[in-house]
Amino acid sequence: MSLDAFICPICRRPYPADVRSLFCRACGDPLLSAFVPKSPAIRRGRPMGVARYLGFLPLPEFDPDLSLGEGGAPLFPLNRLRSVFRTPPLWVKNEAVNPTGSFKDRGSIVAIHMAKALGFETVGTISTGNMAGSTAAYAAKAGLRTVVFIKDDTPLEKILSAGMHGANVIRVRGNYARLFVKSFEIGRVLSFYFINSVDPYRIEGYKVTSFEIFEQMGGKAPDYLFVPVSSGGHLIGLLRGFLDLKRAGLIRRIPRIVGVQARGCAPIARAFARGRAAVAPVRKPQTIAHAIANPQPPAGRVVLKLLAAHGGAMEAVGETEILRAQRLLAEDEGLLSDPASATVLAAFLRMSKEGRIPAGAASVLVITGSGLKTLGDVDSSRLRIAEADLSDLPQLMAAWK
Ligand SMILES: Cc1ncc(COP(=O)(O)O)c(C=O)c1O
Ligand SMILES: [Zn+2]
């Protein structure tokens, strides 16, 4: 059923499409799909999501029985923030509305199609949250078993959703980077398909978000696209989506992609700022943006290479900026994002204030995850939550009015 081959994005060596062997033997970097869309036509009768853009994906067909209704996330302007801060035009693509509350569902639907087609009975993933829940949900829908490896210090509530979908969740003591490598070894021996953050099919699924943004903007690409970055898989997928649109003659220029990390764990942004080709691991990540705190991103070198080739950039934002951006989205735009997603507004506001975004340029911020999942991290002492006796209430409200 292989529509596909893999390729090393660093040395361009080709590989057969084998999900048990996902890294270049020469470079060690993660392989990407070498699939080149042959009939890149948008199927306009279909709803947004994989079905509408099937011609751009290495899947022979879309099976609605595997779908949980992912895709079609709304794109809307942030007019209030735009007017308060006098910024250039600004939209969000709210991926938090996907079935399990994050953009990960875009990748899970495509990878689970592959898992089924390749006859796997068990899939696995390494995650501290969103990816575990998403993979486990899609595996459950497909009738597959899931195993999730997490770090032993991961808070229990982060993996309860995966557990609810029946996943076998294992807290692993030991080095996290080595766990990543080990998972693939275990997968090869036991015939489990480990759908990790830089899986080539997961990354192909992220392209769909770019196709939707293109259509939702009236057949145009934005000038800037801001995306939070951890492993780098999402950024690579979004970039590939716009490159596909360009190759198909649907756009002339791809957006300037700005990957955003939290300063407390910014291995890729740091390497970018220093003009390095590879990332140095971060020893002790320290940020509220837990979902993007990957100290040793496996696709770091690939992200740096692609950004350099296609005019992208990386930014790092501080904790105060992240919390302020999260509050602004919630209070001024009604959008409850997780701190990882709020990094993109923080980076946009800084760049806009510094005059680094031209006045007429259209920016899209990709909100990747729902704030409903990270309410445990909220500092409630900053919220207007109080107690009162019933008899005092009229007076209290009159004073507040
Ligand atoms: C909410 C959220 N945003 C962004 C990311 C980063 O995605 P990637 O690892 O593909 O760079 C993650 C990854 O887990 C996430 O959960
Ligand atoms: Zn290579």
What pTM does this model have?
0.97
Q: Cα-atom radius of gyration of the chain, to the nearest Å? A: 21
CB-CB contact of 300 with 266 (8 Å) = no
| Residue 394 CA to ligand 1 centre (angstroms) | 46
| Residue 301 CA to ligand 2 centre (angstroms) | 11
pLDDT of residue 50: 98
Q: Which atom of ligand 1 is nearest to the CA of 338?
A: 1
| Residue 108 CA to ligand 2 centre (angstroms) | 25
| Residue 67 CA to ligand 1 centre (angstroms) | 21
Distances (CA, A) of 216 to 102, 250, 364: 19, 14, 11
Residue 305 has pLDDT above 90, yes or no: yes
Average pLDDT in the 44-61 region? Answer: 96
* Tens-digit pLDDT profile for residues 139-150: 999 999 999 999
CB of 343 sitting under 6 A from ligand 1: no
Q: Looking at the domain assignment, is residue 337 inside a domain?
A: yes
CB-CB contact of 91 with 75 (8 Å) = yes
* Tens-digit pLDDT profile for residues 70-113: 999 999 999 999 999 999 999 999 999 999 999 999 999 999 99
pLDDT of residue 2: 56
317 bridge partner residues: 262
Give the three-class secondary structure for 78.
coil
Q: Looking at the domain assignment, is residue 7 inside a domain?
A: no
Average pLDDT in the 320-327 region? Answer: 98
Cβ neighbours of 229 (radius 10 Å): 31
CB of 238 sitting under 6 A from ligand 1: no
Average pLDDT in the 107-133 region? Answer: 96
List strands edge to edge, sheet with 192-194: 168-172, 145-151, 122-126, 192-194
Q: Looking at the domain assignment, is residue 167 inside a domain?
A: no
Q: Looking at the domain assignment, is residue 35 inside a domain?
A: no
- The gap between the terminal CA atoms of the chain, to the nearest Å, is 66
| Residue 127 CA to ligand 1 centre (angstroms) | 10
Cα(281)–Cα(364) distance, integer angstroms: 29
CB of 196 sitting under 6 A from ligand 1: no
Q: Looking at the domain assignment, is residue 18 inside a domain?
A: no
CB of 123 sitting under 6 A from ligand 1: no
Q: Which atom of ligand 1 is nearest to the CA of 229?
A: 11
**Residue having the nearest C-alpha atom to atom 4 of ligand 1:** 228
Q: Looking at the domain assignment, is residue 92 inside a domain?
A: yes
Residue 319 has pLDDT above 70, yes or no: yes
Judged by average pLDDT, the poorest of 2-6, 297-301, 346-350, 394-398 is: 2-6
What CATH number has the domain bearing residue 336? 3.40.50.1100
pLDDT band at 3 (very low <50, low <70, confident <90, very high): low
* Tens-digit pLDDT profile for residues 184-235: 999 999 999 999 999 999 999 999 999 999 999 999 999 999 999 999 999 9
Average pLDDT in the 173-181 region? Answer: 85
pLDDT of residue 116: 97
| Residue 228 CA to ligand 1 centre (angstroms) | 7
Residue 39 has pLDDT above 90, yes or no: no
Cα(7)–Cα(330) distance, integer angstroms: 41
| Residue 105 CA to ligand 1 centre (angstroms) | 11
* Tens-digit pLDDT profile for residues 235-275: 999 999 999 999 999 999 999 999 999 999 999 999 999 99
pLDDT of residue 184: 93
pLDDT of residue 256: 98
* Tens-digit pLDDT profile for residues 283-303: 999 999 999 999 999 999 999
Q: Looking at the domain assignment, is residue 278 inside a domain?
A: yes
pLDDT of residue 41: 87
Which ligand lies nearest the alpha carbon of 23? 2
* Tens-digit pLDDT profile for residues 355-395: 999 999 999 999 999 999 999 889 888 899 999 999 999 99
Structurally, the chain folds into a number of domains equal to: 1
pLDDT band at 15 (very low <50, low <70, confident <90, very high): very high
**Domain residue limits at 313:** 75-100+200-375
Cα(302)–Cα(233) distance, integer angstroms: 10
pLDDT band at 162 (very low <50, low <70, confident <90, very high): very high
| Residue 387 CA to ligand 1 centre (angstroms) | 37
pLDDT of residue 40: 80
pLDDT band at 152 (very low <50, low <70, confident <90, very high): confident
Q: Looking at the domain assignment, is residue 42 inside a domain?
A: no
**Residue having the nearest C-alpha atom to atom 15 of ligand 1:** 291
CB of 105 sitting under 6 A from ligand 1: no
Which ligand lies nearest the alpha carbon of 131? 1
| Residue whose pair of structure tokens reads 């001024």 in the numeric block | 332
| Residue 49 CA to ligand 1 centre (angstroms) | 19
Cβ neighbours of 252 (radius 10 Å): 9
CB of 292 sitting under 6 A from ligand 1: yes
Which ligand lies nearest the alpha carbon of 28? 2
pLDDT of residue 157: 82
CB of 30 sitting under 6 A from ligand 1: no
CB of 130 sitting under 6 A from ligand 1: yes
Cα(94)–Cα(111) distance, integer angstroms: 22
CB of 297 sitting under 6 A from ligand 1: no
Q: Which atom of ligand 1 is nearest to the CA of 227?
A: 4
